[in-house]
A and B are shown apart, each in its own frame.
Chain A
Amino acid sequence: RKEVEQDPGPFNVPEGATVAFNCTYSNSASQSFFWYRQDCRKEPKLLMSVYSSGNEDGRFTAQLNRASQYISLLIRDSKLSDSATYLCVVNGDTGGFKTIFGAGTRLFVKA
């Protein structure tokens, strides 16, 4: 099992749709969680951190479920500009503090 696994993509949704991505992690000692966004031929950029209490930033909501070891990202009212690859990132603490990126989920938002 991979240490960080994401929904396979791509997700193709119309503008205005709500879309959700899930990401599971295997290390129960993980302490920090993030979602990054990567546009085509660009570097990944931090989208938001994920806190135990859940957090929201405009149309984006991130949640963490420690018991089930998954994090989620919900995008409401999708825009064309949301088209990108979304990467789940987990910081673990087994055998040394380590950051692991998921393979990413590709999102296409269409008019």
Chain B
Amino acid sequence: DARVTQTPRHKVTEMGQEVTMRCQPILGHNTVFWYRQTMMQGLELLAYFRNRAPLDDSGMPKDRFSAEMPDATLATLKIQPSEPRDSAVYFCASGLDVDRMNYGYTFGSGTRLTVV
């Protein structure tokens, strides 16, 4: 089965450190999302790319978060500097959008981030 691969699976870091999370979308998918999930907030959309172009990053704290797709096989989410409130599970998902329709997204297993 095709899958979305996220690394690392777990990350514990100290406040103030840079954190980089990586995602390999499914080959052929043209849409990539980054979501953050906490118990309190549920799934929050952080960034949304189509054909590697950012479409929506309004949910992302701009001062410390950045998301990029350097190529079609890699999406990155960086936090610099990290803060304890960033502790959450970060999911990447990919899908295929065609003619403004979508056929469902596949999620990676997530990166569980703990900032102490």
From known contacts A96-B55, A98-B48, A104-B42, infer whether A43 and B102 are also in contact, taking CB-CB under 8 Å: no
B interface secondary structure, majority: strand
Chain A residue nearest to B95 in the complex (CB): A99
A48-91 interface code vs B (CB 8 A; 1 in, 0 out): 01000000000000000000000000000000000000010001
B101 at the interface (CB under 8 A from A): yes
Partner of B109, one of A43, A49, A103, A104: A43
B104 within 8 A of A: yes
Question: Which residue of B has the minimal Cβ distance to A34?
Answer: B104
| Complex: chain A residue closest to B31, CB-CB | A99
Name the interface size band of chain A: 20 to 34
Using A43-B109, A46-B105, A97-B100 as known contacts, say yes or no to A103 and B42 having CB atoms under 8 A apart.
yes
Number of interface residues of B (CB under 8 A): 23
Query: Do A93 and B100 contact each other (CB < 8 Å), given the known contacts A99-B105, A103-B42?
Result: yes
Q: How far is the CA of A99 from the CA of B110 in the complex (A)?
A: 19
Q: Is B13 in contact with chain A by the CB < 8 A criterion?
A: no
Q: How far is the CA of A97 from the CA of B91 in the complex (A)?
A: 20
| Candidates B43, B102, B110; contact of A87 at CB < 8 Å | B43
Q: Which A positions have Cβ atoms within 8 angstroms of B?
A: 31-32, 34, 42-46, 49, 87, 91, 93, 96-101, 103-104
List residues of chain B with CB under 8 Å of any chain A CB.
33, 35, 42-43, 45, 48, 50, 55-56, 91, 93, 97, 100-110
